Amino acid sequence: MWNYSKKLMEHFMNPRNSGQLPNPDGRSEVGSPQCGDAMTLDIEVDDDDRITDVRFMTFGCAGAIASASALTEIVKGKTLDEALSVTNEMVVEYLGGMPEEKFHCSVMGHEALEGAVRDFKRKRNTVRKHLEAMFRDLSWDSAGVLGGTPPGIAHVHPSRVLLEFPGDPGEGAVEAVSRELSGRVGRTVEVKVKR
Partner 1 sequence: MKAYLDNNATTMIAPEVLEEMMPFLTHRYGNPSSFHSFGGEVMKEVEKARSRVARLIGAEPEEVFFTSGGTESDNTALRGGCSINPLRSGLLVSMVEHPAVLNTAKKMMRDGTPVGFVPVGGDGLPDMAALAEMLVPETGLVSIMTANNETGTKFPLAEVAEIVHPSGVLLHTDAVQAPGKMELDVKAMNVDMLSLSAHKFHGPKGVGILYVRRGVDLPPFIVGGHQESGMRAGTYNVPGIVGMGKAAEMALEELSAVAGNMKAARDRLEEGILESCPGASVVARDSDRLPNTCTVLFKGVESEAVMTILDMEGICVSSGSACSTGEIAPSHVLTAMGIDPMTANTAIRFSLSRYTSGEEIDVLLDILPGIIEKLRRISPYA
Least distance to partner 1, CB of residue 39, Å:
6
Minimum Å gap between C-beta 72 and partner 1 is 12
CA angle 127, 118, 152 (to 5 degrees): 25
**Nearer CB in complex with partner 1: 12/165:** 12
For partner 1, the closer CB: 61 or 145: 61
Smallest gap from Cβ 132 to partner 1, in A, equals 35
Question: Which of 35, 118, 122, 129 is an active site residue?
Answer: 35
Instruction: Please give the full DSSP string across 22-81, using - where no structure is assigned.
Output: SS-SEEEEEEETTTTEEEEEEEEE-TTSBEEEEEEEEES-HHHHHHHHHHHHHHTTSBHH
Backbone angles phi, psi at 144, to 5 degrees: 70, 30
Q: Is 61 annotated as catalytic?
A: no
> Across the beta sheet with 37-45, what order do the strands follow?
26-32, 37-45, 51-59
Cβ neighbour number for residue 3 with a 10 Å cutoff: 9
Residue in 62, 80, 95, 105 annotated catalytic: 105
Q: Which is nearer to partner 1, 21 or 185 (CB)?
A: 21
Query: Which C-beta is closer to partner 1: that of 73 or that of 180?
Result: 73
List contacts with partner 1 (CB under 8 A): 1-2, 4, 12-13, 15, 18-19, 29, 31, 33-40, 56-65, 101-102, 105
Which residue type is seen at 9? M
- The residues assigned a catalytic role are 35, 105
